[in-house]
Structure 1
Amino acid sequence: MEKRATELKMALLCIFLSLILGMSAALPQDMSGKMLVFPQQTNSAHVRLTTSRQNLGAVTVCMRYFTDLTRGTTFFSLATPSLFNAFLMDKPSPKNVMYVSVRNVHVDFQGQDFQLNRWQSVCSTWDAASGLVQLWLDGKPSSMKFLTNTNLTGPMLIVLGQEQDTYGGGFDINQSFVGMISDLHMWDSVLSPQHIDYYSQKFTFPAGNVLNWQSIEFHTTGRVLIQKDQS
C-alpha cells in the first residue's frame, strides 16, 4: 500500500514537471541577433514552430540562410494532416532552381543565383485570390506563376531543417538542411515589393504576424544550436 502511494506521488510529480516544462517551452522567445545552427546531416534534428492559424488565403515567408550544400535541401516545410507539402520552399540538386509548393503542387523557378558560404535572403509569396506564386532571392523577384486558388486549412505544423513527407515526420537525411537560418518571418498576406526589398537590405519592415523572429515559439529536436547571428 505504501509502495503504491509512493509510485502515485512520483507519477503526479512527473506529470507536474512535464506540464511546467511544456509551458516553458511554449513561451515566445526573442531571437533578435540570434541564429539557428544545423551542424550536420541527419534525419531527425529539426525545429518545430508554433502557430494557431488554421486558415490562410495568402502567405509570405522570408528568411536568411547560409549553407555550403551542393545537394538538394529544404528551407521551410509547412504541413497539415491532409497536405504534407501545404507550403514548401526547397531546392533540388545541383541546379540553380528553387521549388515552391502549395497544397502538394509545386512550380520551379529557374536561374536563381544560389551562392555557397554566403548569407542570402529568400522570400516566397502566394495569394489564393490570384493563385500566383513568386520567389525573391536577395530582393530580386522571379516571374509570377500560377499554382492554386484554394486556401490552406487545418492544423498547421511548421518545420525547419527537414522536409515533412508525413505530418510532423517522414524525414529524409538527403533533404535535411545543414547551415544557419536567421530572421524568419511569416505573414498572412503578400508583402509588397518595397517591404521585401527592405527585408533583404535589413531596413525597417513590418514584422511577421504569423511568425515573428522577435517573438517566436519553437521547440528543437536533436542537435540544433542557438548562436549569435552572423548575417
Structure 2
Amino acid sequence: MESILKQMVRLLSLIALVYGCCGESQDLSGKVFTIPTNDANPYIKLHANINKPITAMTMCQRFNSGLERGQTLFSLATKSADNELMLYKSSLGTYRVHVRLRSLDFFNLPDGINEWISLCWTWDSKTGLTQLWLNGKRSARRVISPHGTITGEPSIVLGQDQDTYGGGFDPNQSFVGDVTDVHFWDKVLSPCDIKYYMHGQIKSPGNLLNWEALQFTTNGKVFIEKSDFIC
C-alpha cells in the first residue's frame, strides 16, 4: 500500500510539474502584461511551438515604459547559449540585437518614454540581414550571424535578460512597464505585413508565439490588465 501511495504522489507531482511548466493557452487580445517593479523577480515565461531549428524569424511586440535606462525586451536562450536571440533597449533610441552571441547596435530610432512603441525585429540566417521597425519606420539593414541556425529547446522570457538558461537575471536590465501583442514567426514578414502590425492590425498571428493563443507562466509581480493601445 505504501508503495502504491508513493507512486501516486510521484504521478501527481509530475502532472503538477507539467501543467505548471506549460500553463494554459489564453487569448490575451486587448490585454497587457504589467511589470511595475524594478527587480529580478518578475518575468513572463513563454512556451513556444518550436519543433525545428530557427533559420529566420520575426518578433513583434508593443511596449510602454517610463524608464530611460537599458532594459530587456525579448530573451531567447538555449542550453548552449544564453543570448541566442535577444533584444535589448540600451537607451532612448538605441537598441542592441544579439544573434548567436554576436551583437549589433541600432541608433537614432524613433522612440520615447511613457508612450506606446510598436516594434518588430527580423533576421534571416541565409543572408544574416537583420533590421528593426519602430512605429512604422525601418532601420537600415545590417548583417549579423549569417549561415547560422538556432537549435535546441528554447527558453523564452519577457521582462528579464537570461544570463543562464532560464535564469541569471540582473535587476538593472529588467523591463518595467506594459507589454502586449507579442508574436513570433519562423520567417521574415513582408514590409506590408509589418506595417499592418504597426497600425494595430495583423494579417496572420505568429506561428511560434501567438498573443491570441499564448501559453505562458508568470513569476513575481506580473499583472494582466486591459490595454489602452487602441480605445
Report the TM-score when normalising by structure 2: 0.91
How many residues are matched?
226
Query: For residue 187 of structure 1, what is the amino acid of its counterpart?
Result: W
Q: CA deviation at 1:12?
A: 3.2
How far apart, CA to CA, are the structure 1 residues paired with 2:28 and 2:202? Answer: 16
Residues 1-231 of structure 1 correspond to what in structure 2 (within 5 A)?
Answer: 5=2, 9=5, 12-13=8-9, 15-16=11-12, 19-20=15-16, 22-23=18-19, 26-53=23-50, 54-93=52-91, 95-149=92-146, 150-231=148-229
Contact 2:110 2:137 in 1 (8 A): no
Query: Where do 5+ consecutive residues of structure 2 fail to align?
Result: none
Amino acid at match of 1:83: A
Q: Tell me, what secondary structure is at the counterpart of 2:121?
A: strand
SS of residue matched to 2:108: coil
Residues 96 and 104 of structure 2 are in contact (CA less than 8 Å); yes or no, is this contact kept in structure 1?
yes
Equivalent position SS for 2:179: strand
Offset, 1:11: 7.8
* CA deviation vs aligned residue, 1:63-95 (integer Å, no higher than 9, x gap): 0000000110000000111111111111113x4
1:19 shift after superposition? 1.3
Q: How far apart are the structure 2 equivalents of 1:8 and 1:92?
A: 55
Deviations 1:3-58 (A, max 9, x none): x94x9748835752661574375321111111101010111211111124241000
Question: Runs (4+) of structure 1 moved beyond 6 Å?
Answer: none
Letter of the aligned partner of 1:19 in structure 2? I
Deviations 1:182-202 (A, max 9, x none): 000000000011110000101
CA displacement 1:135-183 (0-9 Å, x = unmatched) = 0001210000000120111111100010001111110000000000000
Q: Secondary structure at the match of 2:19?
A: helix
Task: Name the CA distance, whole Å, in 1 between partners of 2:48 and 2:78.
Answer: 12
Q: Matches of 2:124 and 2:53 in 1, distance apart?
A: 13
- Give SS of 1:16's match: helix
* Separation in 1, partners of 2:65, 2:145: 31
Matched residues in 1 for 2:82 and 2:140: separation? Answer: 25
Write the letter of the residue equivalent to 1:160: L
- Aligned partners of 2:49 and 2:209 also within 8 Å: no
**Distance verdict in 2 for CA 1:18–1:41, change over 3 Å:** farther
Distance 1:184 1:52 in 2: 14
Helix, strand or coil: the match of 1:185? strand
